[in-house]
Chain A
């Protein structure tokens, strides 16, 4: 079956602009996660959704970052007033339930000029 998909695969933006990154989880997966991977490092947790609600957003670095999952399926990560330090690969993962194995998408590479 189809895996986790993320769009766009690459996004280049200018400092100060607003961006939206989209994640389509595996069909039927109730849990969805966002991670950020900077160059040469392991992924870092950002936020976890169980259904439509954010069950844990402790990893969001500041209030410029926000994520939604209004219908419990597709999720959008929104970054306001982007900074060069936001440049990274943003990874999405989903799992059948919150304690199950997470399956990752290919990521969106964000470059802030």
Chain B
């Protein structure tokens, strides 16, 4: 079955870059997503990448996809304290690719 894995925790200093990694198993996934969840809040879509792309950049966010290794990463440049949250990667699975399978989340802590 599908399985998406992430490391549990990442701590960085304000101004540094953060890199959050994710591995997935379903090679038929069409889209891969990064969501952000702040305490007590819902999931906020940050960015997504189509499976035939290697990289996508959106302001401070860079997504890298290695489809051969089924590895996805999210790089946050110039990390700010407001970036402290839990970050989830998700793959679109199911018949229409619309059932999201989430990883367990990576808690990012940004120290001032």
Shortest Cβ gap from B23 to chain A (Å): 14
Chain A: number of interface residues, binned into ranges? 20 to 34
Out of B45, B98, B105, name the residue touching A42 (CB < 8 Å): B105
Of residues 9 through 48 on chain A, the ones whose CB sits less than 8 Å from some CB of chain B are: 31, 33, 35, 40-45, 48
B88 near A48: Cβ-Cβ < 8 Å: no
- B97 CB-CB contact with A under 8 Å: yes
Which among A40, A45, A48, A107 has the highest number of chain B CB atoms within 10 Å? A45
Nearest CB of chain A from residue B38's CB, rounded to whole Å: 11
User: Given A42-B4, A103-B45, A106-B42, do A31 and B104 touch, yes or no (CB 8 Å)?
Assistant: no
Interface 1/0 per residue, A54-78 and B, CB below 8 Å: 0110110000000000000000000
Q: Which of A35, A43, A44, A98 has a CB less than 8 Å from the CB of B98?
A: A98
Rounded to whole angstroms, the CA-CA distance of A107 and B94 in the bound complex is 23
Contact A106 B95 (CB under 8 A): no
Task: State which of B42, B96, B98, B105 has its C-beta within 8 Å of the C-beta of A91.
Answer: B42
- CB of B41 within 8 A of CB of A106, answer yes
- Closest 6 A-B residue pairs measured CB to CB? A42-B102, A104-B43, A106-B42, A104-B42, A98-B98, A45-B99
- Give the A-binding residues of B (Cβ under 8 A): 4, 30, 33, 35, 41-45, 48, 88, 90, 94-105
Q: Can you list 28 A-B pairs, Cβ within 8 angstroms, ordered by A?
A: A33-B99, A35-B100, A41-B104, A41-B105, A42-B103, A42-B104, A42-B105, A43-B43, A43-B100, A43-B102, A44-B102, A45-B94, A45-B99, A48-B98, A48-B99, A56-B95, A56-B99, A59-B99, A95-B98, A98-B96, A99-B96, A99-B98, A101-B33, A101-B48, A102-B45, A102-B98, A104-B35, A104-B42
Q: List residues of A whose CB falls within 8 A of some B CB.
A: 4, 31, 33, 35, 40-45, 48, 55-56, 58-59, 91, 93, 95, 98-99, 101-107
